[in-house]
Copies of this chain bind each other. A is one copy, B any other.
Amino acid sequence: MTESVLETDRAAGALPNRNSDSHAVAAQFAALSHPARIEILKHLAASNSCCCREVVDRFDLAQSTVSQHLKILVEAGLVRFEPDRQRSRYAVDRLALADVSASLNALVNSCCSGR
């Protein structure tokens, strides 16, 4: 997909980017920036693990659309994919999710401590 767009803030150099790597963090937020994906995430967590079809039945979305959303979640590292027969099992990567939460906490902290 798109990697390394926006060298703007990097090339600027004005703020030498003590890296919490806004790119990476932003990318994970982007994966969470769609209501359907949040709902899918919740559903995956509640079911512990489920296949694409199951998600399609749950939500009013075409199979191809659901497949895309799942792919985005997998590529963001928030969901693990495991082929099972001809089914595809998807499961929330709870550690990764906790990691994103930690990133946001760090951002909030840096915003509250001023620096």
Q: Determine how many copies of this chain the complex contains.
A: 2
Q: Which residues of B contact A80 (CB under 8 A)?
A: none
| Closest 8 pairs between A and B when the two form their complex, measured CB to CB | A45-B111, A30-B33, A22-B35, A45-B114, A12-B60, A22-B38, A29-B33, A5-B46
Per-residue CB contact flags for chain A residues 76-115 toward chain B (1 = under 8 Å, else 0) read 0000000000000000101001101100110110111011
Closest chain B residue to A11 by CB distance? B60
Q: Which residues of B contact A2 (CB under 8 A)?
A: none
Chain A interface size, as a band, is 35 or more
Query: In angstroms, how far is the closest chain B Cβ from the Cβ of A56?
Result: 11
Given contacts A42-B110, A46-B115, A114-B46, contact A6 B22 (CB under 8 A): no
Query: A101's contact among B41, B105, B115, by CB below 8 Å, is which?
Result: B105
The prevalent SS among residues of A at the interface is helix
Binding site for B on A (CB under 8 A): 5-6, 8-12, 14-15, 17, 22-23, 25-27, 29-30, 32-39, 41-48, 57-61, 92, 94, 97-98, 100-101, 104-105, 107-108, 110-112, 114-115
